[in-house]
Structure 1
Amino acid sequence: MDEKLEEQRLPWKILIVDDEPDIHTLTRLSLNNFEFATRPLQLFEALSAQAAKEILVTEADIAVAIIDIVMETDDAGLKLIDFIRKELNNRLTRLIIRTGQQEVAPAKEIIEHYDIDDYKDKTELTIHKLYTTIRSALKSYHDLSTLDANRKALKKILDVAPELYHPQSIHQFFSGVLGQIIGLCNLGEHSLISTISHGLLITTSDTQQFTIQSRAGRFAQPADSEAQMISNICLDYLQGNYTESSLPANAIVIPLEGHDQLIGLVYLENARHLSQEDYDLIHIMTNQCAAALKNLKLYFELKEANQQTSYMLTIAEQARKMAEAANHAKSTFLAKMSHELRTPLNAIIGYSDMIQEEAIDSGCEELLPDLDKVHLAGQQLLDVISNILDISKIEAGKLELNLTEFSVATLISEVVTTIHPIMKMEGNVLQVESSQELGMLYADYHKLRQILLNILNNAAKFTKQGQIDLTVIRKILPLAVAGDNASAYPQSGQSEWFFFQITDTGIGIEPNKLNMIFEAFTQADNSFTREYDGTGLGLTISEYFCRAMGGQIFVSSTLGKGSTFTVQLPSRVVPTNPSTH
């Protein structure tokens, strides 16, 4: 019996799973002498789901499984289906439910919830219906197996293609091409019995000279007679005299062509069993190889340029790493220095408080204005250091939120008390308004406090003898505007937001400078002779904090008339990553 006939007789594997021995006997009798596509059946029998699992693990190419539902347990068959589809990740085996207890597992429920291909009552499966059911399942398995093999082959071609276009030498290139083509042949429908391992890759020149570029299998050390035979085959192919009958049994020749020009030939033995689909995939691979071969010369011509480019990329990468190291060192330095400076500053502020109290007790009120200035200056410097520490944490990606529920009115009272000395120093009047009972807010108390103080401090700095209004409003908005905080309001269809609006009558901001004010270390007037002091970090940090809590900051301004900053925050904050906004 020749190889092709042997392949055709390879049996289809059928698994019968049922706890009734009589069912197995009847199935064997019904499927006796059954053939599909000239191939017989090989039956595997299991009296329990556990026994079936053991068979499935060892026999990975089961074509069809006929499974009873009620066996060692009422749902043993259903668990077996999940085992096949989910644990073994087997999507090819066709699964047929055959049950005598439909009341335990109704067909509609089983078909909707389990990945099966057919559902039969045991009384339905007569000899004739069992024949048609098995035949239909085998045809489906055959088609799906072919599609799966083609998918794997196409994936292999796609995976191999980049390697073909980056060869290190001619020898390695042609060795890789021959190896990949042989490997592709063994991925086909009949790969389980494939014996393709012997082959040659031969190139031809314009003078009809043939060069064996790569060898595999027994051709690794070919005899002189075989080399002459192959040369004759190549010459016949080139002259148009080639016929399959001139080849040894089970051998094929595959042309390597580029732009309708013959580049070479691939000679393979033990390959007559390949299907037309296999040939089509091989031709896709050979077309890729031919295109890669054409680019090989260009590859070597550009090699020196590529090496130079790689050198420049290495230099650029080193520069990038040095920049990252410098940035990290800067952040580390800022963080350490901020901590070192805060300790003595806290002492200065604390002692100034104590001296103020002693001055009052001693009747030295004339010292209080100077002590207030010391205290305020220390507090301002501490705020600057805190801002530097915050920006270093932001750059290092170490910012964390401490979410708690707190009274908005309490927060506003503390903010007003804290900012009052600065307002008084600049001769400004602070007005606070709220439209209703504000209630509670779930957010980071200290970061929201810092946001409001930063904006109020800016308003006081850029306003002289003017008025600053702080307005707090609580609004209910459609859930569509909730963004990253939508999950905090899953049922209501709407969300609550707080709006903190700070309006001043100061110098205002030029329209073309509005997009700069949230950049770190930047003010609208960024010259060396600017009139107003400050690090330019307050708004940067405020915007980052706001976005981290799912909110945003809006600004509008008229030069010479003042500015309005509006902080919008959800009433229940869900942490988000501000870098994605």
Structure 2
Amino acid sequence: MAIEDPLFFDDEAADLTVAGRPAAVPWPVLVVDDDPQVHQMTSVLLRDFEFDGRPFEMVKALSAADARAVLAGRPDIPVALLDVVMETDDAGLQLVRHIREELGNARMRIILRTGQPGQAPEREVVIAYDVNDYKAKSELTAQKLFTALVGALRSWRDIVTIERHRQGLERIVNATPPLFETRSMRTLVERLVEQLGRVVDNAGGSVVACRPAERGDGARVLTVVAGSGRYGAAIGQPAEAALPPDLAAAVAEAFATERSVLGAERCVLMFRTLEHGATAFVLERPEPYGKDDHRLLELFCARVAIGFDNVCLYEDLLALNRSLEQRVTERTAELAANQKALLAAKERVERALERELEAKAQQRQFLTMVSHEFRTPLAVIDSAAQLLALRVESGEAARLERLGVIRTAVQRLTGLIDSYLTDERLQAGNLTLDRRPVDFAALVRTTAEMHRAAHPESTIALDVADLPGSVSGDADLLGLVLANLIGNAVKYSDGTAQVTIRGRRDGPLAVLEVGDRGCGIPANEVGRVFDRFFRGSNAGGHPGTGIGLHTVQQIVQLHGGAITVESAVGEGSTFRILLPLEPPVDGRR
């Protein structure tokens, strides 16, 4: 940068000089430039500038490295004037990155000055680097320099004010939780004295709390109940004797008016509760209190008022608790007597439960034994009936009918045993599926033919051509499901049964519907038909155990499917099964 640049010899500069230097703390401005003449003339101009009653002071750095060293010891510098090209072509830009990213200094306002705009184009620089202004040295007059510095200082001051408010709010947030946990008024006042000094950074100052207290003669006088700093030793003394006269007078006036007074030298805060009366807190410190301090104190007091209410409520609860202690004592004796009765009842229940569990185990063992003992003779009877049916001549219809009755009874008894055993295994939780590909349509047809043969007087219509070719499942258990549903459709039909069986595919599901035109199920009982041992009000004339539909639902759910029912009294019922074509992905079934 040459000495002839307008920055140093512009006519506007003559209007900016201020006679004399104010005796105020100057604004430090970091000037980073490798040209000593720039430092010299900038220092001359800054000497004549003034803002907000404070002069300017230049902090000199001849390179980016010098600037890093300066900032390491003075992170509070508000404004920096940076050259771009110094020890390297982008030394100034790298210094910007160091300030923002490595030092984490977002408050400093950075004005980039360059004598070679082409080396660092303005558009690219302001986008890529966190700078606050960009000036070419050739266009930076003294007036423009002053305007840029004042704008930067205002921005820095606003940022500092915002940060100070944020820190004050953080102190309020951190200070209030311990107060809300306080359970006595004395402890609350002591903690308030401690926390008030932190909220407004009362370093070097004092806090005192006063409230009326009774003397030995019964009179009530203002007394110091808590204090810090120079008032820490005044606790328990009358305020008039322990405090300076002006401070004692300010406290007395606050109690008389019951109003807080926020001033520059001291702040008097008043809190009042119905049960404990008023308490005054006074803050003093060497540094004057400003408007920001006053706002923080007002906000803190608004939050702390809840703490006073909490203490009053807690003390009310203590009084209520004392009144309840006698009732608790009386109830304790009564409960002790009842406890013995409960223990005796518990023992009886446990013994009954043990007997029930033992009975269930014996029941399962008995059913297993009976099913084994019954299956062999039933199989023999069924086989013999089949052989006799083959030998009977076609003309002997009566004999064939009796053999059919025998086979039907055998099949019913075998199915009943299978249902009982399956239900017991389901209840015990040890029923596992033998999953294999099952020709579901063929299984439906086979089961339907068995019922046609057993009930020749019934009409069983089949429409399963749209069922998928294969379903993953346990063929025996699915056969038991079909036998139960078709058997129920026939059994609960009045007169000649008319059963309709339809099947189709619905995406990844096989859907089978078994409908009848029987007696139907009352609407208030539809939701209970799958309950174990439930039998409807219209099932009295039909034999059954009430476990068939419950077993059907359990088996379908084991396959990862679902079963629903639609029914109307006098119109019949339709049971709908939805089975996944493939096993569930989680493998739990």
TM-score range, shorter chain: 0.5 to 0.7
**Counterpart of 1:480?**
none
Task: Tell me which amino acid in the other structure corresponds to 2:415.
Answer: L
Q: C-alpha offsets along residues 179-201 of structure 1, whole Å, 9 cap, x if unaligned?
A: 45445x15xxxx5xx52784344
The verdict on how the C-alpha distance between 1:241 and 1:357 changes in structure 2, with shifts beyond 3 A counting, is closer
- Aligned ranges for residues 454-473 of structure 1 at < 5 Å? 457=484, 460-461=487-488, 464=491, 466-473=497-504
CA deviation string 1:450-481 (max 9, x = no partner): 899769746744751535544444558xxxxx
CA contact (8 A) 2:378 2:414 kept: no
Contact 1:459 1:506 in 2 (8 A): no
Within the candidate set 236, 247, 268, 2:253 is matched to: 236
Aligned 8 A contact 2:484 2:552 in 1: no
Residue matched to 2:303: 285
Write out per-residue CA displacement over residues 56-115 of structure 1, whole angstroms, 9 at most, x where no aligned residue.
9x99999999999x999x99999998x89xxx9x9987999989778998988x7xxxxx
1:275 is paired with a residue whose SS is helix
Q: What amino acid sits opposite 2:301 in the alignment?
A: H
Q: Aligned ranges for residues 188-203 of structure 1 at < 5 Å?
A: 191=201, 194-195=202-203, 198-203=206-211
Quick one: structure 1 residues 543 and 437, their matched pair in 2 at CA, closer, same or farther if it must change by over 3 Å?
closer
Give the one of 162, 183, 186 matched to 1:171: 186
| Aligned match for 1:255, one of 253, 260, 270 | 270
> Is contact 1:451-1:542 (8 Å) kept?
yes
Q: Contact 1:447–1:545 at 8 Å: present in 2 too?
A: no
Larger radius of gyration: 2
C-alpha change, 1:461 and 1:120, in structure 2 (3 Å) is farther
**Which structure 2 residues correspond to residues 303-382 of structure 1 after superposition, within 5 A?**
303-304=321-322, 375-382=414-421
Aligned equivalents of 1:102 and 1:357: distance in 2?
104
- Tell me the CA shift for residue 558 of structure 1: 0.5
Structure 1 residues 525 and 360: CA distance shift in structure 2, 3 A: closer
* Deviation of the 1:276 alpha carbon: 3.1
1:301 counterpart SS class: helix
CA shift at 1:284, angstroms? 0.9
Q: Secondary structure at the match of 1:564?
A: strand
8 Å Cα contact 2:556/2:563 also seen in 1:
yes
The one-letter code of the counterpart of 1:289 is G
Q: State the 1:281 CA deviation.
A: 1.1
CA distance in 2, matches of 1:62, 1:451: 84
Taking a change above 3 Å as real, the CA distance of residues 285 and 370 of structure 1, as seen in their structure-2 partners, is same
The answer to whether the 8 A contact 2:553-2:562 is kept is no
Aligned-pair identity (%): 12
Q: Within 1, Cα distance between the matches of 2:450 and 2:562?
A: 28
How far 1:254 moved relative to its partner? 0.9
Q: Which amino acid is the alignment partner of residue 380 of structure 1? A: S
Q: CA deviation at 1:379?
A: 2.9
Q: Aligned equivalents of 2:420 and 2:194: distance in 1?
A: 72
Question: For the Cα contact (< 8 Å) 2:189–2:209, is it kept in 1?
Answer: yes
Matches within 5 A, 1:94-243: 128=145, 131=149, 134-135=152-153, 138=156, 141-142=159-160, 144-145=162-163, 148-149=166-167, 152=170, 155-156=173-174, 159=177, 163=181, 167=183, 169-183=184-198, 185=199, 191=201, 194-195=202-203, 198-204=206-212, 208-210=220-222, 212-216=224-228, 219-222=231-234, 228-230=241-243, 233-240=250-257
Shift of 1:263: 1.9
Counterparts in 2 of 1:202 and 1:106: CA distance versus 1, 3 Å: same
Give distance in 1, aligned partners of 2:172 and 2:562.
49
Flag the 1:389–1:227 CA change in 2: closer, same or farther, 3 A: farther
Q: SS where residue 255 of structure 1 aligns?
A: strand
Q: Which residue of 1 aligns with 2:523?
A: 511
Partner deviation per Cα, 1:484-521 (whole Å, 9 max, x = no partner): xxxxxxxxxxxx87655443444433223344557x65
Conserved? CA contact 1:102–1:121, under 8 Å: no
Secondary structure of 2:181's counterpart equals helix
What is the CA–CA distance in structure 2 between the aligned matches of 1:153 and 1:570, rounded to whole Å? 62
Which of residues 273, 276, 291 is equivalent to 2:294? 276
> What corresponds to 2:10 in structure 1?
none
| Paired residues of 1:200 and 1:219 also in contact (CA < 8 A) | yes
Corresponding residue for 1:579?
none
Give the number of aligned pairs.
Answer: 480
Structure 1's unaligned 5+ residue stretches are 1-7, 111-115, 394-399, 477-495, 577-581
What is the rounded CA distance, in whole Å, between the counterparts of 1:531 and 1:540 in structure 2?
20
User: How many angstroms apart in 2 are the aligned matches of 1:417 and 1:80?
Assistant: 86
